[in-house]
Structure 1
Amino acid sequence: MDRLAVMETFVCVVETGSFSAAARRLRVGQPAVSKAIAQLEDHLGVHLLLRSTRGLTPTEAGQNFFEGARRAIAEAEEAELAARGASASLSGRLRICAAVTFARLHILPHLKKFLQEHPGLNIDVVLDDRQIDLLEEGIDVALRMGSLNDSTMTARKIGEGKRVLVGTPAYFATAGVPQTPEDLRQHQFVVYDRGAMATASTFRREGKEVSIDVTEGRIRVNAAEGVRAAVLAGMGVAIATDWMFSPELASGEVVRVLSDWDLPSIDLWAVYPSGRMANAKARAFTSFVQATMENYAAALA
């Protein structure tokens, strides 16, 4: 019995809640997962999992083994990297999650370089604007923006984005260019209905604050791709990060207005599953994304 491989299988079963889900994540057949757990329970002489119609949950012994196994897997990976030296490349599979538009514009175009640095590494990219369950989906690291509502998550701030007010030149040619935040009451908003994004309406300049209600608009969209499409079609203005419209801001297809007023910035976080120590692959990817975003910010300065 390969003890480390069996521990990895058991950890995967507990995290996913079923043999079938673990098999899909590990890319093996379900019988192989069931056999591995049976061998492990026989070897330890205790029941590790409770089986019911609602799925699998660890027993007290199973929970204790789960915590220890998870630490052992992380420590084994760290030991391998230490033995190979600082120049060693990463290997295995890394599963990341990010919002669709952010990943399309700022992560996927740069992944080739990261993979070239680590030829033994494979990456699963899960694109989802929702805040999915990282443990259930087997995510090693997720990129999230704004406030983090779950205080149990392990997170690292890796960037800060500017919020800007944008629209197309064609829209402003018809509706007029706002000169003050108050002028926005006469404009159509494309509302990004994603928590903090939808309420970023306080404009600041030289100690003065002006709050404008931008939560009511004829168009409300819960995904950044939809916001982009509506704005580019000239259907209104939007408050968004400069990350969301970076190609169009550079080309002039959209323009920033009220640029002498500031809006609250938004934080970019690398988030790891609750209770899990970030592995070397997740940490390396996090540092890579942080460097990528720092280069982007420097190019704008």
Structure 2
Amino acid sequence: MDRYQAMATFVRVVETGSFSAAARHLNVGQPAVSKTIAQLEGRLQVSLLIRSTHGLTPTEAGQRFYERAKLAIQEADEAELAARGARAGLSGCLRVSAATTFARLHVVPLLPRFLAQHPELEIDVILDDRVIDLIAEGIDVSLRMGALPDSSAVARKLATGRRSVLATPGYLARAGAPQSPADIAAHDTVLYSQLSNIWSFQRDGTEASVTVRSRVRVSAAEGLRAAVLSDMGLTIASDWMFWSELASGEVRRVLTDWTLPPIDLWAVFPAGRMASAKARQFAAFVEAAMAGHQATSPN
């Protein structure tokens, strides 16, 4: 049994959650994947997977083996890349996590260009608005926005975005535009439930805060977008979230003479190990793309 191939097969089974999905990724038959895992468990004399009607999950021993095996595969890939030279393309599978809306608008459209540069590379994009465990989920790099809750995280800032108070022309025609932060208290708002309902502004060294009321709270950015575009009220959001609508006029900024704290985009890598070449190059690619994006920021 080829130890490297067995490790790669096991890693793919854990990441896809089934023998059949791993077989499709590896371009082999399902019996071959099942046989490889059985041989691996026999050689190690330990059960690596729990099989149930819900799919496959690693045992405690399997999780430890998965983490070490994935790291070994990454290090082998790094060694090959170093030997082939800096011009060599990336290969293997890159697992990226990102917030759903940000990824849909700004990451997924970039993938064809990145994949064209690296024909032997595959990318798994895990969409989740929550902060997930990168090691447990086998993530190579996570794109996160805002403050990083884990101070031990290995992170690189990729971009800084503007945040504004936004609404549709339909809502503003009905309710009028606020002329000061204090006016917001009389308006309908749409709140992202993970953020505070106290909005803080600055202008010429002056600070102003307002506690907003809302009949609508949403737990995901897709819901926030849908509510705002349905003329339901004001919201605070980054330009990234309403990029095309700001450019088309479907959404407008208000209180533009006041500023809100900006929002940062980070590339976060699993703690405790060196980021892979695939993860580093993808982060650099996104950073360059977002820099060009900001140069064409909608007014």
Same fold per superposition (TM over 0.5) = yes
Change (3 A) 1:219 1:11: same
Match of 1:267 among 251, 264, 268: 264
2:274 partner letter: M
Change (3 A) 1:90 1:51: closer
1:83 maps to what in 2?
Answer: 83
Match of 2:251 among 245, 250, 254: 254
Query: SS at 1:159's partner residue?
Result: strand
Change (3 A) 1:282 1:194: same
Distance 1:108 1:21 in 2: 23
1:38 partner letter: E
Q: Percent identity?
A: 51
C-alpha contact (below 8 Å) 1:144/1:269 kept by paired residues: yes
Question: Could you tell me the TM-score, scaled by structure 1's length?
Answer: 0.83
2:201 maps to what in 1?
Answer: 203
Aligned pair 1:130/2:130, yes or no?
Answer: yes
Distance 2:203 2:20 in 1: 53
2:141 maps to what in 1?
Answer: 141
Superposition map of 1:208-223 within 5 A? 208-214=206-212, 216-223=213-220
Match of 2:34 among 21, 28, 31: 31
Aligned pair 1:225/2:207, yes or no?
Answer: no
1:292 maps to what in 2?
Answer: 289
Change (3 A) 1:6 1:164: same
Distance 2:134 2:21 in 1: 13
Change (3 A) 1:299 1:257: same
**1:140-184: CA deviation from partner (whole Å, max 9, x where unpaired):** 222111122233432222111111100011211221111111111
**Structure 1 vs Structure 2 CA RMSD:** 2.9
Distance 2:167 2:37 in 1: 56
Distance 1:3 1:249 in 2: 53
Question: Could you tell me the TM-score, scaled by structure 2's length?
Answer: 0.84
Superposition deviation, residue 264 in structure 1: 0.9
Match of 1:280 among 273, 277, 280: 277
Distance 1:66 1:137 in 2: 10
C-alpha contact (below 8 Å) 2:6/2:37 kept by paired residues: no
Query: SS at 1:76's partner residue?
Result: helix
Q: Which moved more, 1:160-169 or 1:73-82?
A: 73-82
Change (3 A) 1:111 1:184: same
1:193 maps to what in 2?
Answer: 193
**1:193-236: CA deviation from partner (whole Å, max 9, x where unpaired):** 124xx45611001110001113x411101111111111111110
2:194 partner letter: R
**1:70-96: CA deviation from partner (whole Å, max 9, x where unpaired):** 553232111211222211111122121
Change (3 A) 1:36 1:162: farther
Aligned pair 1:57/2:70, yes or no?
Answer: no
Distance 1:187 1:150 in 2: 35
Distance 2:22 2:139 in 1: 13
Change (3 A) 1:52 1:192: closer
Q: Which moved more, 1:28-37 or 1:73-82?
A: 28-37
Superposition deviation, residue 98 in structure 1: 1.3
C-alpha contact (below 8 Å) 2:41/2:48 kept by paired residues: no
Distance 1:142 1:84 in 2: 27
Q: Which runs of 5+ in 2 are unaligned?
A: 52-56
Query: SS at 1:244's partner residue?
Result: helix
Distance 2:104 2:179 in 1: 33
Q: Which runs of 5+ in 1 are unaligned?
A: 42-46
Change (3 A) 1:167 1:50: closer
C-alpha contact (below 8 Å) 1:4/1:73 kept by paired residues: yes
Change (3 A) 1:36 1:209: farther
C-alpha contact (below 8 Å) 2:160/2:265 kept by paired residues: yes
Change (3 A) 1:11 1:174: closer
1:44 maps to what in 2?
Answer: none
